[in-house]
Amino acid sequence: MVDVSKQDQTFLKISELWKSFGNFVALQDISLEVNEGEFVCFLGPSGCGKTTLLRAIAGLDVQSRGEIEQGSKDISSLPPAERDYGIVFQSYALFPNLSINKNIAYGLENAGQSKAEINARVEELLSLVGLPDQGKKYPAQLSGGQQQRIALARAIATEPGLLLLDEPLSALDAKVRVSLRHQIKELQRKLGVTTIMVTHDQEEALSMADRIVVMNQGVIEQIGTPIEIYRDPKTLFVADFIGEMNQIFATVSSHNTISFGSKLLECIPHGFETNAQVIATIRPEDIIPQGENEQTSAATNISENSLEVAIHDMEFLGSYWRAELTSVDNGDATLNANFSMNAVRRMNLEIGKSLRIEIPADRLKVFSRNELVH
Amino acid sequence: MMSTSSRVQLPAGKNVAVKLGRDDWAMRGFIALIAIYLIIALAFPLYAMLSKAFSTFHVDLSQYEFQVSDESGNFNTESITAQALNENTKIYEEADLSTGSGGRLSVTKFFPDFSFRSPVMYKVRGVDTNAVFLVGSERHTGPDWLELDSNTFRRVVLRPVASTGLGNFSHYFETPALVRSIKNSLWISAISTLITVSLAFGFAYALSRSCMRFKGVFRLIAMAPILVPSLLPGIALIYLFGNQGMLKAMMMGESIYGPYGIIAGSVFFTFPHAMLIITTALAISDARLYEASESLGASSWKTFWTVTIPGARYGLISAAFVVFNLVITDFGLPKVIGGQFNMLAVDIYKQVIGQQNFEMGAVVSVVLLIPAMFAFSIDRLVQRKQVALLSSRSVVYQPKKNSRFDKVCFAYCLVIAIFIVGILAVCQFAALIKFWPYDLSLSLVNYSFDLMDGGGWGAYQNSIKLALLTAFFGTIVVFVGAYMVEKTQGFKTGRSLFQFLAMLPMAIPGMVLGLAYIFFFNNPSNPFNFIYGTMTILVLCTVTHFYTVSHLTAVTALKQMDDEFESVSSSLKKPFYKLFYRVSVPVCMPAILDISIYLFVNAMTTVSAVVFLYSSGTSLASIAVLNMDDAGDVAPAAAMGMMIFYTNVAARLVHAIVSKGLLKRTQVWRAR
Ligand SMILES: Nc1ncnc2c1ncn2[C@@H]1O[C@H](COP(=O)(O)OP(=O)(O)OP(=O)(O)O)[C@@H](O)[C@H]1O
Ligand SMILES: [Mg+2]
């Protein structure tokens, strides 16, 4: 079980870490703290340096500048064998000529344990990852998902203080991926082992991580809990990369309003000067069709923060409708909104129809146009 | 956005220095050890050979002075330099003055009225200490006059001074008999290449594009020449077309001794090499292109020229340069069947063994190195391109039945198979005939090797010993070296130096390597001098000679292993050697066995490198074939050659059985 007293204690501390490959700087000024027992995900697009950072922590590709402390011990320049971690790769890297039992026992051998103790531990690990009775097989005889779990069992066999996972699920098909996601998370909670997982799948990161480190082109964009990252992105990149985000060109009117075409909209307070050209963002699910909340809207005078739009296109996505809206106030702007099935039915929404949508002020966030990603 | 981030610079300061773990040190140690092996077994000897080729020896007459007395022993005349004396008498030409390291110039010829009985006295001195002369075997230098009576004076000889330069090369190029060999070697190799590659292409094409029967048998027969020394086809050709040949009439007055014999024999022994390369090239060409071509209604002739040939082009080029290299560097075949026709590799042998002119041997070696290096580099370049091609291809071509085409293919392969089997059969036949062509009864008398020159059965035993030792130690050195260089982190400079050294042997002709070993190891001041003339130097030389192909085999196998094994193992705190013997070696076992059989077979058949290095106690079967043939015992030579063949066949069988057994035992984990 997780030792509650140890939580919130920094276990891994990375300070001002840089890494270059020749002239190319792959990591810039990375500083990061991971708490004891925490599950942290490195999330970012391909090539942003996630693996590089993980390999620096493992000592497999040592950083060019900066320090890494683990358990308040400076491990910056230690070779991998003198660090304390278990690692699972995307390729699993199971030894093909050794049976599953031998693979798991590999790290336990010659460490002062008797044969019987080792066998017992292997059994225990096999049932822990949900694969008892598979020990006599060889890796090639298991499915990808099973191999991944064996790789995990091998990595935690020696009870390392830190578990490193580099895209452990990306080679698996979607169904297996989702179920393994839960298994890994559960196992991690049970063992309380500090874990860092690299992924470029935001769903994976949002569902598994205690905290997410969003990376882009060698720098950390934001560190936060999944909710923080999703609800309160600090940069346009994060806003755009995590979940879906409408982006609309707008001009600043005051410290908490923007003008959008002829409309003035209230937004989250910001630091931009009046008349600054900005990008306003709002998530599709935060857009509320007016009329749905007839009672509340009357009470809170929403006409201040609403837009007149026409439904350009609609698509049924199972649990909700995705609507493509064009603004009447500002002809060329389009917005995506998610409408619940109830709302669509009640309000009789369909393609070509006009309606008024509410833009909640505390969901409308502005960013500088310099941050524009696309 | 990319460009902004790539312009970012690291903050000032030093890179984080990695503390090297025990494993890192151990692995680097191994790399260094094997690199040192390659430096001693390859780089130093080559250097010794090159410096030999560029050291010249010249007697500088202006550096010696003489004085002559009258009959009563009084020196009344001025001293005179040897140069002035030579200008008067014109005794020595310039060529006489440029000698080898052992050159000695007699001085009495400068004095036309010299008589060793005369009472005249002579004085001689060098201008400085560089000028050396001998009285008998006693060495003198320096500007002090040495007074000698006539009888002693006739024992005075002048010694040359060593310097570095191109003298040997200009001498070489002024000797028409030697220069002719360059032309000979080049055109013989070119023609052999053309014939071999064409024949091998046809053979490979039939194997991969037809549905004829007995493909496996044909493939096996085509590989047979690899199992015999290159000079064996020469012996068979002599039996067939030589002065007393069974089919001499077919030569229509032409002689087999010379270009015809060399080319025919070269085609025989290089055929398997070309066939293997071209088969691989054809195997990777994409079936989709054939389908596309057929669906466009192209004739098969057009498909052949627009799809097959371009698809196999790298294979063809690579095969051509490999064959060219094999022919131009081969020594055994032209030695046996070349007659008066000189080639570069034979020249080296003749200069060194026949005339003891080591400098000239070194010069010919350098000349031979040039085309060999060239062919080697082209081949490497092309191979790399082919590998790139390989990874992007996918669909394997499945030939369709076409009875006419299949019949033509079968007939073609049959002719080639008959040629190959025929050559071997003739050798075996020759070995069993008592005394060709006078007594055609069968007997085993030709197997009484102990009665002939060449080393007897002892030589055969030595060969087996050499082959086993080479296979054993060579495989260990090669595989460990390849493992370390593939799996070590960092240490870039060291690793690329190692890669370079590992590729080098392929570019060095065997004759050149052997000669280089003489220069390096036969030097009394070399601490390794003691291995000269022993089995050790033969093993060393053979491992080095065949290092590159073995190394590449090992590297290919290692590259197929997941790079993360090492990372996982070290994260589990296991030393590298544990992973090495628990995982790397078992997984690579097929490649390891391939390396050892390759080394074994080549150690059995090699002639060129070891011909300079064997001693009376370490003669080898392949050398015995050469020497017995040289001494006129052609039938015993054929018998010994066939012994090598059967030994290699047996070795390959053992290899096949062991590999199969191993695969069976391990097929559980190779299931997919
Ligand atoms: N050994 C190397 N030599 C040179 N450049 C490298 C090396 N390893 C990584 N890079 C570069 O560093 C950058 C970051 O690579 P990294 O593997 O960390 O990306 P990643 O975030 O893990 O991407 P992915 O999601 O594709 O795995 C990339 O641009 C990559 O090309
Ligand atoms: Mg990665």
Residue A22 confidence (pLDDT): 86
Query: CB-based burial of residue B2 (10 Å sphere; 0-12 exposed, 13-18 middle, 19+ buried)?
Result: exposed
Residues with CB under 6 A from ligand 1: A 21, 24, 26, 44, 46-52, 200
Contacting residues of A for B569, CB less than 8 Å apart = 106
Q: Is residue B4 part of a domain?
A: no
CB pair distance less than 8 Å for A80 and B571 = yes
**Which chain A residue has the Cα nearest residue B9?**
A25
Shared domain check, B182 and B123: no
Residue B23 forms contact with A (CB below 8 Å) = yes
Is the pLDDT reported for residue A298 higher than 50? no
Q: Binning pLDDT at 50, 70 and 90, where does residue A17 land?
A: very high
Find the CB nearest A106 among B22, B574, B669: B574
Using pLDDT thresholds of 50, 70 and 90, give the confidence band for residue B666.
Answer: low
Quote the minimal CA–CA distance from B7 to chain A in Å.
Answer: 8
Query: How many whole angstroms from A167 Cα to the centroid of ligand 2?
Result: 7
Q: How many Å is the Cα radius of gyration of chain B?
A: 31
d(CA A189, CA A291): 44
Is residue B590 domain-shared with residue B663, that is, in the same domain?
yes
Which of the listed residues B162, B187, B205 is the one where a domain comes to its end? B162
- Same domain? For B149 and B33 the reply is no
What CATH fold (topology level) applies to the domain A4-240?
Rossmann fold (3.40.50)
Domain assignment of residue B33, yes or no: yes
CB A185 within 8 A of CB A208: yes
Mean pLDDT of A129-144: 89
pLDDT digits (tens, 9 = 90+) for B85-123: 888 888 888 777 777 777 788 888 888 888 888 888 898
Counting ligands in written order, the one closest to the CA of A48 is: 1
Asked whether residue B322 is assigned to any structural domain, the reply reads yes
Report the C-alpha gap between A357 and A338 in whole angstroms. 12
Q: How many CB pairs under 8 A join A and B?
A: 122
Question: Is residue B289 scored above 80 in pLDDT?
Answer: no
Compute the distance from residue B482 Cα to the ligand 2 centre, in Å. 27
Which phi and psi (to 5°) does residue B101 adopt? -65, -25
Shared domain for B325 and B194, answered yes or no, is yes
* Tokens of residue A224, six digits: 């936060």
Helices A115-128, A144-156: crossing angle, 10 deg rounding: 130
Domain holding B96, by residue range, is: 59-162
Which amino acid type is present at position A260? Answer: F
Looking at residue B638, which CATH number applies to its domain?
1.10.3720.10
Structure tokens at A171: 């080679």
Query: B44 φ, ψ to 5°?
Result: -60, -50
Backbone angles phi, psi at B648, to 5 degrees: -65, -35
On whether both B367 and B292 belong to a single domain, the answer is: yes
Average pLDDT, integer, range B35-57 = 90
- Within a domain: B183: yes
Residues B308 and B279 occupy one common structural domain? yes
Interstrand relation of A306-316 and A263-266 (parallel, antiparallel or unpaired): unpaired
Shared domain for B558 and B629, answered yes or no, is yes
Q: How far apart are CA B582 and CA B215, in angstroms?
A: 38
CB contact under 8 A, A81 and B21: yes
Q: In whole angstroms, how far apart are CA B521 and each of A154, B31, B54, B576?
A: 52, 23, 19, 35
In a domain, B579, yes or no: yes
Average pLDDT of the residues of chain B: 87
Task: Identify the domain boundary among B105, B130, B162.
Answer: B162
> Smallest Cα–Cα separation from B463: which of B607, B337, B563, B358?
B607
pLDDT > 60? residue A294: no
What number of other Cβ atoms are within 10 A of residue A111's Cβ? 12
When CB atoms are compared, the residue of B9, B22, B571 closest to A58 is B571
Do B435 and B457 share a domain, yes or no? no
Residues B202 and B264 in one domain: yes
* pLDDT confidence bin for A331, thresholds 50/70/90: low
Residue B335's nearest CA partner among B270, B238, B240 is B238
Does B29 share its domain with B74? no
Threshold 0.80, pTM exceeds: yes
What is the distance in angstroms between the Cα of A362 and the nearest Cα belonging to chain B?
A: 31
Answer CATH for A244-371 from 3.40.640.10, 2.40.50.100, 3.30.390.10, 1.10.287.990: 2.40.50.100
Q: Tell me how long chain A is.
A: 374
Same domain for B434 and B506: no
Q: What are phi and psi of A270, to 5 degrees?
A: -140, 180
Quote the CA–CA distance of B319 and B324 in Å, as a whole number.
8
Q: CB–CB of A25 and B8 under 8 A?
A: yes
Beta-carbon contacts of A231 under 8 Å, excluding residues fewer than 6 positions away, are none
B582 interaction partners in chain A (CB closer than 8 Å): 95, 98, 106
Count of domains in chain B?
A: 3
**Are B18 and A140 inside 8 Å of each other by CB?**
no
Which of B162, B193, B220 is the endpoint of a domain? Answer: B162
Within-domain flag for B2: no
Write out residues 202-261 of A within 8 Å (CB-CB) of B.
Answer: 217-218
Residue B668: per-residue pLDDT: 60
Place of tokens 């069968």: B442
User: Which residue minimizes the CA distance to atom 25 of ligand 1?
Assistant: A46
Instruction: Say yes or no: B437 and B458 in one domain.
Output: no
The domain locations on chain A are 4-240, 244-371
What are the tens digits of pLDDT across the range B506-539?
889 999 999 999 999 998 888 988 999 899 999 9
Q: In whole angstroms, give the CA distance from residue B30 to residue B102.
A: 42
- Asked whether the beta carbons of B261 and B241 are under 8 A apart, the reply is yes
Whether B643 is covered by a domain: the verdict is: yes
